[in-house]
Structure 1
Amino acid sequence: MDMRWSEFVAKVRERGQYPTTKEAERVSRIVLSALGGHLTGPERTELAVRLPEEGMRVLTDQLQVAKPLSGAQFVDSVAARIEGATPATARWDVSSVLSVVAEIAGGDLLDRIIDRLPPGYALLFGRAQLAQLV
């Protein structure tokens, strides 16, 4: 998929029902930046090359975090970066961006991304995360 940054932001704007392109772009940058610190290994590289150039830069300019956050902690960390955000609005923002990322990644890569991240991210990407019975 060869998507331009403006197309990525337009999809986020539509999914998140943001009133302006500027708001959708701001949220996109914040969420991709946060994800960039948590995603590692070949999955990070594979996702980066599938994103529009600006998204690739935002994702890969981040240093890896020392301790990956659970999905809920990730949402809380995004809420802390968005003025006036609550956990509920941050979850909406994260899901609006990550659902577009999921579409760009495709099934196989998305499965590997979700497997690499701590529990709680699947739903943020628009996927159910089934618990494995031992």
Structure 2
Amino acid sequence: MINLDLKSRVPIYEQLVDKVKQLIIQGVIKPDEKLPSVRSLAQELTINPNTIQKAYRELEREGYIYSLPGKGSFVGRVEGHENERKIESLTRDFEQVTSELLYLGASKGKLINLIEDLEKERGEENES
């Protein structure tokens, strides 16, 4: 389910954060679903439990998961107020990346097709 590139320059905890976010966004992991324990995930991925803990803390800080003492970590629900702030932040990032892509020669049509493909993919996943 989670594959990490141990040779990558990207820190392992950041890779883990990105992979878990991707699984949540794609609907593979549903709201309120329990995540693997730090110990079991560390054994499965053969990495230090502190690395898993750091990734879980970051995901919790960003609002993707929540922890219940003695019970574990769970996927968070999307909250309207928090969602709006995240949308604003990601929109600024999107504008910056889009400007750079256009500057480098990517066509408007290619960008629109990419968005439409992502939207279609997201819709198909929600239907399953």
Asked if TM exceeds 0.5, the reply is: no
How does the TM-score come out when normalised to structure 1? 0.29
How does the TM-score come out when normalised to structure 2? 0.30
Structure with the largest fraction of strand: 2
Which has the greater radius of gyration?
Answer: 2
Structure with the largest fraction of helix: 1
Of the two structures, which has the highest relative contact order with CA contacts closer than 8 Å and spacing of 6 or more?
1
